[in-house]
Chains A and B, each alone.
Chain A
Amino acid sequence: GEDVEQSLFLSVREGDSSVINCTYTDSSSTYLYWYKQEPGAGLQLLTYIFSNMDMKQDQRLTVLLNKKDKHLSLRIADTQTGDSAIYFCASSGYSTLTFGKGTMLLVS
């Protein structure tokens, strides 16, 4: 079945850029997503990219998609302490999402 993999942990200093990486296996994925989850909370949709796009920028967030390598990345510019959370990458089939295990971002 489909699989999505992410590194489990990333630590950065406040003000630096953060880059969270993700790989997926389903070459027919239509959309690719980034969600943020704070402790004890649900999932907050940060951004998503259609599979025929290479890049999407939204304020401090930049998403890069390498469809050939099935690699997705999320760059957060000027990382703040409020960005500390778990970030999930997800790929979509026709109507369902497959999630990675999440990357814990710690901002110090």
Chain B
Amino acid sequence: DAGVTQSPTHLIKTRGQQVTLRCSPKSGHDTVSWYQQALGQGPQFIFQYYEEEERQRGNFPDRFSGHQFPNYSSELNVNALLLGDSALYLCASSLGVIAGELFFGEGSRLTVL
């Protein structure tokens, strides 16, 4: 049974560029949440997708956007990259929107130069 899978694992971008990160949830899960983990910090909630709609959003600017597809997979897009966007981006999946068992992927490490 595949867990949460994310791609790419590592990527390097320059300031001002745009990036798209991808996530496939654990089999049987229908809800995807995205978290940003800066170096030395705990993860911070970005947003959550369920039934192809953004259901909850954390304190992140509109440069961060997302999408969920009919197969429950999800994308995180970040526009106009800043140096401060360098972080590990973690995808988590669950069954339903109410917090319960939440499984994380290995993350996509983004470096902005």
Q: Which residues of A contact B (CB under 8 A)?
A: 4, 30-31, 33, 35, 41-45, 48, 88, 90, 92-102
Bitwise interface map of B from 61 to 104 toward A, beta carbon under 8 Å scored 1, else 0 = 00000000000000000000000000010101000011111111
State which of B99, B103, B105 has its C-beta within 8 Å of the C-beta of A96: B99
Contacts A42-B105, A45-B104: A94 and B98 contacting too (C-beta < 8 A)?
yes
Contacts A42-B107, A95-B48, A96-B56: A33 and B42 contacting too (C-beta < 8 A)?
no
Q: Does B8 contact A (CB under 8 A)?
A: no
Complex A-B: 9 CB contacts under 8 Å: A35-B104, A42-B90, A45-B102, A94-B56, A94-B98, A94-B99, A95-B55, A95-B98, A96-B56
Q: Does B40 contact A (CB under 8 A)?
A: yes
Nearest chain A residue, comparing its CB with the CB of B98: A95
Q: Does B44 contact A (CB under 8 A)?
A: yes
User: Could you tell me the distance in whole angstroms from the C-beta of B42 to the nearest C-beta in chain A?
Assistant: 3
B43: chain A residues within 8 A (beta carbon): 43, 88, 97, 99
A94: chain B residues within 8 A (beta carbon): 56, 97-99
Q: Which residues of B contact A (CB under 8 A)?
A: 4, 6, 31, 33, 35, 40-45, 48, 55-56, 58, 88, 90, 92, 97-107
User: Could you tell me the distance in whole angstroms from the C-beta of B44 to the nearest C-beta in chain A?
Assistant: 7
Nearest chain B residue, comparing its CB with the CB of A30: B99
A41: chain B residues within 8 A (beta carbon): 106-107
State the CA gap A98–B92 with chains docked (Å). Answer: 13
B31: chain A residues within 8 A (beta carbon): 95
